[in-house]
């Protein structure tokens, strides 16, 4: 066929000389780009950043000096570290350190107890987890002085309910103060015994012949659980009394009688405070249940859950104290 005899026309190859050199293109782009000179940084932004850091440090100092500020800061910082430490457990190289860290924070209920030296020197715990343990021990040490305000609270309640105070709420407060006082006393004794301040003979006397502190810690955490549970009893009673007041006030409005001004704002304040206290108590409850168990605690409990619960429970107090430093 004639079309088979026709010669196929090939496209003409481009001339290499017409193609721009790569080095020339790069040089042109470099010449057109603005130069990055550190001297071009806006001094105003730099001074603003330094001033912001300075203000933050001063506010932090004011927070630590305020009543309860150091405790609130250490608590928030500690539970944040627990969350970060849990995130690090996802690394395969350190997947087993979470159990050891929990064993250090909560003394085991058997004959073995991991020491801080073993935990920190075996190379499996990252620095952030070691810092979490250190802050936890610092908080426990500072709680040695926690008996004094608890004693003052218990003593003020022992004189009986004040005028206008609900008797049921007073009894709940007495039960809660007694529970927290017992918890703090047992924890202090256990800590002093572990530190060598109190001898094993005294612990054996309290602990039915057992010179170890594991059982005392368990009893202490159960007292703490009792104190946390009292918050729910208090909230139930407060809601019951408030509901009665609101029903009475609604009936007064229906009858055309005058009620106190700004009552809606007071109702909103009560609701906000009530729900805040409920969230705080609900956050502490799982942790108290876990530590007060002699059979291993809650299934699936880990550093992440502990950090989240503690952070939720303490964030409200920390936010209020931080806002007061502005």
pLDDT of residue 303: 86
Q: Give CA separation, 316 vs 223, 236, 240, 319, 322, in Å.
A: 24, 21, 24, 5, 10
The whole-angstrom separation of Cα 239 and Cα 293 is 30
Question: Tokens for 210?
Answer: 């057992």
Whole-model pTM above 0.85?
no
The whole-angstrom separation of Cα 124 and Cα 95 is 9
User: Domain-by-domain residue ranges, the chain?
Assistant: 44-99+125-143+300-325, 144-293
Please, are residues 98 and 126 in contact by the beta-carbon 8 Å criterion?
Answer: no
pLDDT of residue 100: 57
Low-confidence ranges of the chain (pLDDT < 70): 1-42, 90-125, 258-260
- Tallying the residues shown for the chain, one arrives at 326
Q: Tell me, rounded to whole angstroms, the distance of Cα 100 from its chain centroid.
A: 20
Close Cβ partners of 62 (under 8 Å, ≥ 6 residues apart): 69, 325
DSSP state of 90: T
Close Cβ partners of 157 (under 8 Å, ≥ 6 residues apart): 170, 173, 174, 177
Q: Tens digit of pLDDT for each residue in 146-155?
A: 999 999 999 9
Q: Tens digit of pLDDT for each residue in 40-57?
A: 556 777 787 888 888 899
Compute the CA torsion angle 84, 317, 188, 282 (nearest 10 deg): -80
The whole-angstrom separation of Cα 67 and Cα 277 is 20
Q: Tell me, rounded to whole angstroms, the distance of Cα 235 from its chain centroid.
A: 22
């Amino acid at each position: 066929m004639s079309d088979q005899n026709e010669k196929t026309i090939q496209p003409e190859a481009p001339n290499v000389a017409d193609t721009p050199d790569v080095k020339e293109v790069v040089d042109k782009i470099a010449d057109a780009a603005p130069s990055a000179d550190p001297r071009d940084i806006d001094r105003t932004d730099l001074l603003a950043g330094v001033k912001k850091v300075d203000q933050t440090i001063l506010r932090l100092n004011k927070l630590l000096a305020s009543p309860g500020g150091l405790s609130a800061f250490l608590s928030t910082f500690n539970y944040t570290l627990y969350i970060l430490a849990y995130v690090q457990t996802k690394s395969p190289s350190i997947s087993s350190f979470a159990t050891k860290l929990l064993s250090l924070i909560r003394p085991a209920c058997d004959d073995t107890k991991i020491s801080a030296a073993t935990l920190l020197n075996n190379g499996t715990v990252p620095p952030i987890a070691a810092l979490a343990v250190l802050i936890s021990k610092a908080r426990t040490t500072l709680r040695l002085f926690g008996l004094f305000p608890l004693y003052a609270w218990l003593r003020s309640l022992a004189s009986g309910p004040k005028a206008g105070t609900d008797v049921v709420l007073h009894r709940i407060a007495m039960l809660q103060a007694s529970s927290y006082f017992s918890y703090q006393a047992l924890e202090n004794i256990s800590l002093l015994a572990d530190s060598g301040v109190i001898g094993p003979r005294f612990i054996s006397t309290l602990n039915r012949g057992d010179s170890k502190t594991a059982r005392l810690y368990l009893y202490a955490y159960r007292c703490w659980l009792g104190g946390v549970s009292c918050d729910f009893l208090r909230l139930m009673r407060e809601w019951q009394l408030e509901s009665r007041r609101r029903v009475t006030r609604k009936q007064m409005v229906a009858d055309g009688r005058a009620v106190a001004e700004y009552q809606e704002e007071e109702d909103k304040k009560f609701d906000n405070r009530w729900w805040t206290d409920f969230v705080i108590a609900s956050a502490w409850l799982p942790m108290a249940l876990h530590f007060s168990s002699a059979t291993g605690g809650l299934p699936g409990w880990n550093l992440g859950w502990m950090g989240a619960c503690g952070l939720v429970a303490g964030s409200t107090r920390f936010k209020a104290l931080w806002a007061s430093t502005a």
